Amino acid sequence: MDKVKASWPLAAHPSNRRLVLGLVGTLMVCLWCFVGFWSVWERHSVFAATEQSMEQLNAAVEEQTRGLFKQAETFLMVARHWVQAHPDTDPGTAAEFLELVDHMRNVSGGRLDIRMVTRQGILRYIPDRGQALRTNVSDRDYFRAQQDPATKGYFIAKPVLSRVTGKWGIPISIPVERAGGDVAVLFVAIEVDSVSDIFESERVKPNGTISILRQDGVFMFRSPMETSVLATSIADTATWKQHLGAVGKGVYQTGQAVVDGRSRMVTFSRVSGYPLVVLVSVDIDDLLGAWRVHTLALFFVALVVSVFCMAFGRALLGAMAAEERVRGELEHLMLTDPLTGVGNRRMLTQRLIEEIARAHRYGRSLTIAFFDIDYFKRINDRYGHPVGDTVLTQVAACLQGQLRKSDHVGRFGGEEFVVLLVETSLEDALVLVERMRAAVAALHFPDMPDPLTISAGVAEACAGESAQDLLQRSDRALYQAKANGRDRTCVDRGAD
């Protein structure tokens, strides 16, 4: 038994270890699945909620834009009606017309201003105090559009930088027939700076944008103001071809916006009744800022919980391993003879039951040898119990040293030892027993000059025989050996 052949566990039992690892692993998998699910779900929710609010904002911007251009169109219609109704009056000096224009200017909050262009392309302000004298705008598309039958009529021109005020404006022109003062074109200039104030308060801060484009892809307006893009066209870009110029309204995401290269979610729609497209965008980094903070916080919490779970699992495994060690030590003590270190009677009984069952199951041999130290009481009486204990210890070690790894030896009680010879026939067992008896006889003890001998009784298991019967037969053979003079081996052959 390698001193009971007991190697008590140094770690938790494999099944317990698997259970703990399984529980900790399952908990961590569930935890991180929850983190992943929550992160994906919240991100989706953020995009869904933002898309809805952006569509609402886009609708509001569309309505404001339509109202602004409708107001400009109304002002132009009213002004043209007055001019054409007074063909012999110069509108630039007529008090009634000046009062009308001033009223419309006040109604628009100063965002709209009506101006005139003569047939020669000379710009005239209202009232005309010579501030635009000799300023020729015949090259401007809002004037040229009225000279071309294909574009003549209500025309929204590209934004222009005023040659008089130095400010950006969006001209909207109409032709005039039969007008005094040589006026051929009336146009409303929408001051970009004043319009910017409206939309600046509505855009999503800090990096959201609101833009107005013409249906041919020309930038009319952008908030925050980016004058470098005004009057430029994006009609050749993939964004225009796939989204803005392809459908009437929609939502899309872009990894690189045309103007600033930022990732954006964009909602857009065409303005009813006007050749315009409004865009409202939000920066993806702004949009996901709170989500990233929440995800990072949740990730940190999950990481802390994971570390705690691993530490708890490790501590639990350690506690279970300690319990296994204690249990193993107790089992070792229960099955070990404290004096000799070999197995005790309990161990022998357990092993004998196991081995005889195995022998019957597989049809293999099992032989048992029952040893008794000759005249052991005399040794104790003559030399003392310490010497007797030494004899017992040395005999146990000697018997153990002669066995194979599959065999078992134990102290049955007092000076008696039992050896289980697994898969060993009676004939082979007798050879081993004699070898063990010779090894015991060769032992020398300084405090005991008398020779030491040992008697043995041997029995081989018969078919269907119980462990108790086999043990009794070997014990009977031992008594026969002692009755025949000791220092010998006797055999009980059972039914034979």
pLDDT mean over 49-57: 94
What residues act catalytically? 415
- 320 in a domain, yes or no? no
Tokens representing 97 are: 């017309």
pLDDT mean over 438-458: 93
Same domain, 64 and 152: yes
The pLDDT score that the predictor gives to residue 4 is 45
Same domain, 357 and 428: yes
Same domain, 278 and 352: no
- The count of C-alpha atoms lying within 13 angstroms of the C-alpha of 24, restricted to the half-sphere facing its C-beta, is 19
pLDDT one-digit tens code per residue, 329-340: 787 778 889 999
The residue with greater pLDDT, 230 or 5, is: 230
- 31 in a domain, yes or no? no
The pLDDT score that the predictor gives to residue 313 is 86
The pLDDT score that the predictor gives to residue 130 is 61
Same domain, 234 and 381: no
Same domain, 279 and 412: no
Number of structural domains (the chain) is 2
By C-alpha distance, which of 332, 450, 367 is closest to 6? Answer: 332
Same domain, 94 and 227: yes
d(CA 420, CA 350) in angstroms, rounded, equals 11
Q: What percentage of the chain carries pLDDT values higher than 70?
A: 96
- Phi then psi dihedrals of residue 178, to 5 deg: 50, 70
- Domain holding 78: CATH number? 3.30.450.20
pLDDT one-digit tens code per residue, 266-302: 999 999 999 999 999 999 999 999 999 999 999 999 9
Lowest mean pLDDT among 52-56, 130-134, 246-250, 472-476: 130-134
**Domain ranges, residue 469:** 345-492
- 145 in a domain, yes or no? yes
Same domain, 78 and 144: yes
Among 287, 314, 332, which residue terminates a domain?
287
pLDDT one-digit tens code per residue, 106-126: 999 889 999 999 999 999 988
Beta bridge pairs of residue 169: 160, 191
The pLDDT score that the predictor gives to residue 495 is 60
d(CA 448, CA 393) in angstroms, rounded, equals 14
- 88 in a domain, yes or no? yes
pLDDT mean over 354-376: 94
What is the average pLDDT value for the chain, to the nearest integer? 90
Same domain, 349 and 225: no
pLDDT at 199 over 80: yes
- 15 in a domain, yes or no? no
Among 245, 264, 287, which residue terminates a domain?
287
- 316 in a domain, yes or no? no
Same domain, 270 and 362: no
- Would the pTM count as exceeding 0.75? no
Same domain, 366 and 252: no
